[in-house]
Amino acid sequence: MVRKFVGAMVSGLVMAATAQGQTVQGTLLRPDSTPAVGVIVVALRAATDSVLARTITNGSGRYVMTVAPGEVRLRALRIGHRPFVIAEFALTASGRREGRAVLPDDPIVLTAVTTEASSSCRQTGAAGVNIATVFEEARKALLATTLKSGDGDPLARLSIYEQARSVG
């Protein structure tokens, strides 16, 4: 009886550990091979686009997150750029995923939008798309303020240079 209980308990712990999720990590780079810092990385369930996890890249362009097993789509969100699908893959219960990707330089270009304070927003067509794009960019900016890298708090370095020159 005790052996069955211990066996069931160990089995339950193993299943609980794998049900929690697996590690997905990687490095994002810009086209010039410099680290892509401050990029929001979102893990989505591929079939439904439901959010499984999200994080933000650190100063080295690295991200780490825990994701439940299944079909996963990783998407990169950058303020001022179009969303980019980093990868799509099947994550097994014992799986671990390491990736490296170069983000394309695909900025969002907006046309001028004119609004009036006394009228309600009745934008349709291209103008409506532009307004929706502005709101999406604002959403990304707000989301970036709530996330932090899995490696800890972000670090910043401020360097001040002074130079004195004599004339003549």
Query: What pLDDT digit, counting tens, does each position of 29-43 carry?
Result: 999 999 999 999 999
Tokens representing residue 2 in the block: 């005790």
Residue 34 in contact with residue 120, Cβ under 8 Å? Answer: no
Residue 47 in contact with residue 34, Cβ under 8 Å? Answer: no
Distance CA 41, CA 49 (A): 14
Domain coordinates in residue numbering, the chain: 22-146
Residue 144 in contact with residue 40, Cβ under 8 Å? Answer: yes
State whether the Cα torsion 116-121-127-130 is positive or negative. positive
> What integer pLDDT is reported at residue 139 of this predicted model?
83
> What integer pLDDT is reported at residue 12 of this predicted model?
46
CA-nearest of 26, 20, 41, 25 to 93 is: 20
With H, G, I as helix, E, B as strand and everything else as coil, classify residue 94.
Answer: coil
Query: What pLDDT digit, counting tens, does each position of 97-128 carry?
Result: 999 999 999 898 877 777 666 656 666 777 77
Q: What's the whole-model pTM score? A: 0.62
Provide the greatest CA pair distance for the chain: 96
Q: Which CATH number fits domain 22-146: 2.60.40.1120, 2.40.37.10, 3.40.1410.10, 3.40.50.20?
A: 2.60.40.1120
In whole angstroms, how far apart are CA 104 and each of 12, 28, 29, 65, 78? Answer: 44, 11, 9, 22, 11
CA-nearest of 98, 102, 103 to 64 is: 98
**Positions of the chain with pLDDT lower than 50, given as ranges:** 2, 5-19
